[in-house]
A and B are shown apart, each in its own frame.
Chain A
Amino acid sequence: MTDKTEQIRIVLAKLGLDGHDRGIKVVARMLRDAGMEVIYLGLRQTTDSIVAAVEQEDADVVGLSMHNAGHLTLAPAMVEALRQGDIDVPLIVGGIVPDADVEALEQAGVAAILGPGASAEEVVATVRSVVSEA
């Protein structure tokens, strides 16, 4: 009965108005095919709706996809919302994040950043390592 107990549950969402959902949908399938349970929230989420989902779904990790150059504002806001909610769950940001912004995001508390062109192996390995380190 222990074979399924380590199954990773990840919440995937688009925060704010950004409607580019090609990447997040591809990633959802990659993670499903890697055996994870993906709780897909879709477009136009708020930090509150994501926090609520993480609590109710007891997710192991949150993944945000960002394509509108809003990551320097929105990702720290998400980290802060999780902190305020007393939720100790790591945040991964994927999408269009220039190298120059990686350090700022890491300092803001983002656990990992997946830039453009990350392969399926990188995506899956990053989620696994972030969860196991949490």
Chain B
Amino acid sequence: MTSVRNLPVDALVELALTDDRRAVGRLLTLVERNGPEATECAMMLHAHGTGSHVIGITGAPGAGKSTLVGEMVQQMVDGGSHPAVLAVDPSSPLTGGAILGDRVRMAGVTEAFIRSVATRGHAGGLALAIPGAVRVFDAVGYNPVVIETVGVGQVEVDVTAAADTTVVVVTPGMGDAVQANKAGLLEVADIFVVNKADRPGASDARRDLELMLDLSHMTGQEDASYRPPILMTNSLEGEGHSAVIDAIETHRRHLVDTGQLAKRRRRRIEFEIESRLSTVFEQRMIELKTDQRWVDIVDTTTAGTIAPPAASQQVANLLLH
């Protein structure tokens, strides 16, 4: 039997570039594992970039993000786009397992490529896996690429914020807007969506967001010519999704017109390089801790022979060489 699962990376890349979904699916697995194949994949695909628009969607658990994404993606398909979705859900911290249910909420979306991703406990992994997966989709020609994350952990926020357009979803009545502010989502939002807008408190949530935006404008944002719109949607009734899609397009054009798009993408590359570096250093640090030289440095510092800053410098030198 032929199976793409045993093919080498170069063969997979070749197949994937013809939009063979099995090959794309397999490459995503390799990227997620962050092993040597992931590196190989990144090396081969980076040059194939097609400039897909990357949309991050985040918000509190239960905000209805998946349903919203499902509805939007269906409309994108109907409008002739070829979207892909990365739906990120937390792994169980105890067992490392996960139940990934976003496909249920996106049921009926048959044309888009949907990939469920578990956070797998280690934050650094996600910070590499997501850009890697986006690179695969971008190279194959999926556009836009939608990343959906729960906006709780810093890494999730960072990953989503590294998108071209970041949509923050809140729901009425639970202090979501305030929570979003605390989680640092307010600064990164290009578009706000108040979902489940039929519920009591929707207009309060909107007002809270307006107020916080007024404040942040007074303290000076980097891009004064753009004020994030606040849109009201109702996922169950399917209301307001075209407005979100329109707002994303408006934001995209704004990014292009003002030259911000290039800046954001540069920042994204920067973020990926930083993530890779910290992963490399973390890994070396782990290895170093099993090394006698680490033990010696700690021992001499404990004995008072050298001071901690000097010890750190010695460790840094070891890590760099």
Contacts and interface: CB of A to CB of B under 8 A. Distances in A.
Interface of A: 1-2, 4-5, 7, 9, 28-29, 31-42, 48-49, 52-53, 55-58, 85-88
Interface in B143-194: none
Interface string B95-121: 111111101100100100111101011
Which 4 pairs between the two chains have the least Cβ-Cβ distance?
A: A58-B25, A32-B97, A88-B3, A42-B104
20 contacts: A4-B120, A5-B35, A7-B96, A32-B95, A32-B97, A32-B98, A33-B95, A35-B95, A35-B97, A36-B97, A37-B91, A40-B100, A40-B103, A42-B101, A42-B104, A57-B115, A58-B5, A86-B2, A87-B3, A88-B3
Interface of B: 1-3, 5, 21-22, 24-26, 28-29, 33-35, 91-92, 94-101, 103-104, 107, 110, 113-116, 118, 120-122, 125, 283
Given A28-B99, A32-B98, A37-B100, A57 B92 contact: no
B230 to A, nearest CB: 32
A37 B113 contact: no
Nearest to A45: B107
Query: Chain B: interface secondary structure?
Result: mixed
A108 B98 CA distance: 31
Contacts of A85: 22
Contacts of A40: 99-101, 103-104
B34 A1 contact: yes
Contacts of B97: 31-38
B96 A4 contact: yes
A125 to B, nearest CB: 15
A88 B5 contact: yes
A39 B21 contact: no
A72 B91 CA distance: 35
A36 B101 CA distance: 14
Contacts of B118: 37
Contact of A7 (B22, B25, B120): B120
A33 B92 contact: yes
Contacts of A35: 95-97
Contact of A38 (B21, B34, B98, B113): B98
Given A55-B22, A57-B115, A88-B3, A1 B35 contact: yes
A53 B5 CA distance: 15
A33 B28 CA distance: 24
